[in-house]
A and B are shown apart, each in its own frame.
Chain A
Amino acid sequence: MADIDPMAEIRASFFIECEELLESLQDGLTAMDDGDFDSETINVCFRAVHSIKGGAGAFGLEALVRFAHRFETVMDEIRNGRLEPTRDTISLFFRGADVLFDLVRASRDDESLDDATVELILVDLEALVGARLAEEEAEEAEGADFTPMSLSLDPIDGDDHSGFALMDLDAPLDDPAIPPTSSAPAGFKIAFHPAAELFASGNEPRHMLAALRDFGEPHITCDLSNLPDLTGLVPEQGVVGWHITLETSARKEEIAEVFEFVDGLCELSIEATGSAPALPDLESIDLENIVIPGPRPDDDTPPQDATPEPAPATPPSASSPPAPAKSKDKSTGSAKATVRVDLDRIERLVNLVGELVINQAMLSQSITEAGVPTNSAVGSGLEEFLQLTRDIQESVMMIRAQPVKSLFQRMSRIIRESSAMVGKSVRFVTEGEQTEIDKTVLERLADPLTHMVRNAVDHGLENTDGRLAAGKSADGIVTLTAAHKSGRVVLEVKDDGSGINRERVKQIAEDKGLIPPGVQMQDQEIDNLLFLPGFSTATEVSDLSGRGVGMDVVRSAIQALGGRVTITSEPGSGTTFSISLPLTLAVLDGMVVETGGETLVVPLGSIAETLTLTAADIEQLGADTTLVRIREEFVPILDLAVELGFRTPLEGYEGRSVLLITSEDNSRTALVVDRIVEQRQVVIKGLQESYGRVAGIAAATILGNGRIALILDPTDLIASAGSSGPHSAQPFAIAG
């Protein structure tokens, strides 16, 4: 972290911005896909691509600029209403967005992308426009002789096949209040002389001049009349001015808006030209209510007398979306104010708060040990301190929390790609996009979720014929939901396919020797076979499967995050995979226990219940296995201290405490410990980084006395006990 190149920093923030822009592009396209062709939606997409192009240009990222430019050009066709946003077009745009995403990534990481794929999509994209343009040219030629009598009033659907519509290109699409008549080429004469303050405040006349292009083709001449001799030149002084003739149908305010930010920092005059003689003094007329109807006398186009409509047009409502030029400058108008903070800093804060929690616990402990009564001033002060610490901790965790939206958007791409690959038509539905999860968790979820989503498309959904035969719609539906449930985040990947074919799953497991043949199994147990290493149901290897990654990898990835995966499947109506995750990786609700002279923490989430053993509950089975009877069920006992090698097995377990652990496959194990100490929140400290993985141990934490206690991973512990310990014959190890 020595010398940070300032350029590198700016570049890094450009790429962060790109991610945001790509996200809004996805949002916009999704909205369009859902039938929202509001001009603002289209503008958002266009602006996103445009901004990426602009930034990329500044950093000399040529491949990105080239693609963004051509993509943008095609998008502009939609924006101008020349190209109909059909479903095919939008799906092509989605692909374009995907390529743009790849290009951004590649530029960021200084990699190069396969030009062929990029070119392919561009060809497809431009074929859209090419077709359009060719069509238009033909029509234009054809339509040159006649004057269209009416124009479409809907600017979006303005796929008007008239020559005139072509002239209307630059009318602001987002203001349907302007009747088409106003688009008769009126114009403005603008004189713009920036003062020194304009430059001092960081404004750039070039951008304003460029923004005028949104209204029409400006003819700009530079006014050098104020240019002094070289000797008299003060570089800070604005001496150059511009005269612009702009042929446009836009209203004066819209033009003035371009210069809104430099109001008072320049000499500016905007005069209407070519307007109808009926409106001689535009300056004095309330432009809000009047639109310039007249055609320019010297215009080449035949005047549109057919629709003179003297224009008491509806005044544009206050809430109408801002003109494109303006919104372009302020890319995120009403977004919440945010601050970009380096993740390392947050990480540091999280660690410090972690320390604070530990320190607070140590302080409480020593005060209790000193015999200070809890109702004393110190005691109540400590109580408040505790509360404050908790609040701080929660707030800090909130900083790291991020909505799952970005992850869901990535999944939507996976769906598009995988459905195209297997030739199924899939509708992707998301719910709860705003649900927040710790950023680290979010990042590490991408891979397992990708796999599950692919599985849903590849294995979950039937092909179109199968769906139709089953009386379902041709489009398969994959639903991705996120929600907070009792202190955890639950993500669900649901398909409306045929459900798990349990017969086949069991057959395959038997064929592969994963289970002994002929075993009676419950549905749930069969479903869990999918998580076994080396299991894959795909009889024919499709493009999507055969990646060497199975559901077992998905499960271990989720478990590494402190999460659980469960399957529910209904024959004929689909399969749901649920992932339940902790809100954060940094704190854990745990039960502190003592056994074999050591203190350990067991995650509260894995404990179904606790009880104290009596002689009557304990039964022996064979030589090594002890069972405990819990209500009507016998559960095998696992001595935690023995399992971890802290002591040799005890003679009897009477009077010991038992934690009843329920595994994912619903099998239960009674974990025996000497004593349950308390239930508390602990700060998780990674063990993996400093030492490596320890079987049965998830992480470590620091206790109130400053010592380290290990946090147990009960599922892993039970699984490894099943495979290596004396209890290997137990059925509970099957899907562990």
Chain B
Amino acid sequence: MNIPAIEDTEQDPSRQELLSFHVGLQEYSIDIISVREIRSWTEATPLPHAPPYVRGVINLRGTVLPIIDLAKRLAIPAGEKTDRNVIVVVQSGDNTVGLLVDAVSDIFTVSDSELQAPPDMSSDGSLKCVRALTIYEDRMLRVLDLAAVLPQPDSEAA
């Protein structure tokens, strides 16, 4: 259904398609270009000495995929664990990780002019992960900065 929209974004670089999902009671979104696939929740193997938001690793068709619990990463209360919980497999640069979210909700298109910068609240570390805010069907949507969400291999090593 979204084929025209995709063409739109290709023709008009100022328009982008976003995938939105629920984390706890809030709604977040990411650029759909970075989404590789969406899969159902499988139990992850925990990693020792990992930060709390790293749930562990799962087997994604033979590769090791780290899973980030987005609720923990953003330091917001997670919603109830249901079987609608999904892993959004995203790629940012050379990194591929799975984001654990409560449920995927929508795909929509916005133009750059519809995005506004988040308020500067540097005291709240989780805000660094939010790149922009936008309004869609009268709801506030937070657009994530993927690179900021992903663990940096070097700094996380310890």
Residues of A whose CB lies within 8 Å of any CB of B are 351, 354-355, 358, 598, 643-646, 685-688, 690-697, 700, 702, 706-710
- Write 10 A-B pairs (CB below 8 A) sorted by A numbering: A351-B62, A646-B46, A685-B64, A690-B95, A690-B97, A691-B54, A694-B50, A695-B48, A695-B49, A706-B59
Instruction: Give the number of residues in B that approach A within 8 Å (Cβ atoms).
Output: 27
Please name the 4 residue pairs, one residue from A and one from B, whose CB atoms are nearest each other, closest first. Answer: A692-B153, A644-B48, A708-B45, A691-B66
- A686 neighbours in B (Cβ, 8 Å): 64
A355 (CB) vs chain B CBs: closest residue: B62
Give the CA-CA distance A646 to B45 in the complex, in Å. Answer: 11
Answer yes or no: B43 CB below 8 A from chain A CBs: yes
CB distance from B12 to the nearest CB of A (A): 25
Answer yes or no: B123 CB below 8 A from chain A CBs: no
Interface centre among B46, B65, B158 (most CB of A within 10 A): B46
Does A691 contact B47, Cβ atoms closer than 8 Å? yes
Known contacts A695-B49, A707-B43, A710-B47, A690 near B96 by CB under 8 Å: yes
- B138 neighbours in A (Cβ, 8 Å): none
Does B46 contact A358, Cβ atoms closer than 8 Å? no
- B58 neighbours in A (Cβ, 8 Å): 707-708
Give the CA-CA distance A643 to B45 in the complex, in Å. Answer: 16
Answer yes or no: B113 CB below 8 A from chain A CBs: no
Does B157 contact A692, Cβ atoms closer than 8 Å? yes
Which residue of B45, B62, B95 is within 8 Å of A598 (Cβ)? B45
Does B62 contact A697, Cβ atoms closer than 8 Å? no
Does B153 contact A685, Cβ atoms closer than 8 Å? no
A699 (CB) vs chain B CBs: closest residue: B64
Does A702 contact B48, Cβ atoms closer than 8 Å? no
Which residue of A598, A696, A708 is within 8 Å of B64 (Cβ)? A708
Answer yes or no: B11 CB below 8 A from chain A CBs: no
CB distance from A132 to the nearest CB of B (A): 57
Give the CA-CA distance A688 to B63 in the complex, in Å. Answer: 12
Answer yes or no: B7 CB below 8 A from chain A CBs: no
Give the CA-CA distance A700 to B62 in the complex, in Å. Answer: 11
Which residue of B43, B59, B64 is within 8 Å of A691 (Cβ)? B64
- A700 neighbours in B (Cβ, 8 Å): 45, 57, 64
- B156 neighbours in A (Cβ, 8 Å): 691-692
Does B151 contact A710, Cβ atoms closer than 8 Å? no
Answer yes or no: B154 CB below 8 A from chain A CBs: yes
B66 (CB) vs chain A CBs: closest residue: A691
- B54 neighbours in A (Cβ, 8 Å): 691
Give the CA-CA distance A696 to B57 in the complex, in Å. Answer: 16
Extra pairs beyond A690-B97, A708-B57, A710-B48 (11, CB < 8 Å): A598-B46, A645-B48, A687-B57, A690-B63, A690-B95, A691-B156, A692-B154, A692-B156, A693-B153, A697-B47, A710-B45
Cβ proximity bits B28-47 to A, threshold 8 Å, 1 near / 0 not:
00000000000000011111
Does A354 contact B62, Cβ atoms closer than 8 Å? yes
Does B65 contact A690, Cβ atoms closer than 8 Å? yes
Does A646 contact B64, Cβ atoms closer than 8 Å? no
Which residue of A355, A644, A646, A691 is within 8 Å of B57 (Cβ)? A691
Does B48 contact A708, Cβ atoms closer than 8 Å? no
Give the CA-CA distance A709 to B158 in the complex, in Å. Answer: 20
CB distance from A127 to the nearest CB of B (A): 52
Give the CA-CA distance A730 to B119 in the complex, in Å. Answer: 52
Interface centre among A598, A690, A691 (most CB of B within 10 A): A691
CB distance from A119 to the nearest CB of B (A): 42
- B63 neighbours in A (Cβ, 8 Å): 685, 690
A687 (CB) vs chain B CBs: closest residue: B64
CB distance from A506 to the nearest CB of B (A): 32
CB distance from A518 to the nearest CB of B (A): 34
Give the CA-CA distance A354 to B59 in the complex, in Å. Answer: 13
- B158 neighbours in A (Cβ, 8 Å): 695
- B97 neighbours in A (Cβ, 8 Å): 690
- B151 neighbours in A (Cβ, 8 Å): 691-692
- A710 neighbours in B (Cβ, 8 Å): 45, 47-48
- A685 neighbours in B (Cβ, 8 Å): 62-64
Does B45 contact A707, Cβ atoms closer than 8 Å? yes
Does B48 contact A707, Cβ atoms closer than 8 Å? no
B47 (CB) vs chain A CBs: closest residue: A694
B154 (CB) vs chain A CBs: closest residue: A692
Give the CA-CA distance A400 to B58 in the complex, in Å. Answer: 28
Interface centre among A695, A696, A702 (most CB of B within 10 A): A702
- B45 neighbours in A (Cβ, 8 Å): 598, 700, 707-710
Interface centre among A643, A685, A690 (most CB of B within 10 A): A690
Does A697 contact B96, Cβ atoms closer than 8 Å? no
Does B59 contact A694, Cβ atoms closer than 8 Å? no
Which residue of A687, A694, A706 is within 8 Å of B49 (Cβ)? A694
- B157 neighbours in A (Cβ, 8 Å): 692-695
Give the CA-CA distance A687 to B64 in the complex, in Å. Answer: 7
Give the CA-CA distance A591 to B151 in the complex, in Å. Answer: 30
Give the CA-CA distance A697 to B49 in the complex, in Å. Answer: 10
B58 (CB) vs chain A CBs: closest residue: A708
- B59 neighbours in A (Cβ, 8 Å): 702, 706-708
Which residue of A688, A692, A694, A709 is within 8 Å of B48 (Cβ)? A694
- B153 neighbours in A (Cβ, 8 Å): 688, 691-693
Interface centre among B47, B66, B97 (most CB of A within 10 A): B47
Give the CA-CA distance A694 to B158 in the complex, in Å. Answer: 7
- B66 neighbours in A (Cβ, 8 Å): 690-691
Give the CA-CA distance A487 to B101 in the complex, in Å. Answer: 45
B62 (CB) vs chain A CBs: closest residue: A355
- B49 neighbours in A (Cβ, 8 Å): 644-645, 694-696
CB distance from A19 to the nearest CB of B (A): 28
Give the CA-CA distance A690 to B46 in the complex, in Å. Answer: 14
Give the CA-CA distance A694 to B56 in the complex, in Å. Answer: 12
CB distance from B69 to the nearest CB of A (A): 14
Give the CA-CA distance A694 to B157 in the complex, in Å. Answer: 6
CB under 8 Å from chain A, chain B span 137-157:
151, 153-154, 156-157
Give the CA-CA distance A620 to B45 in the complex, in Å. Answer: 33
CB distance from A1 to the nearest CB of B (A): 16
A696 (CB) vs chain B CBs: closest residue: B48
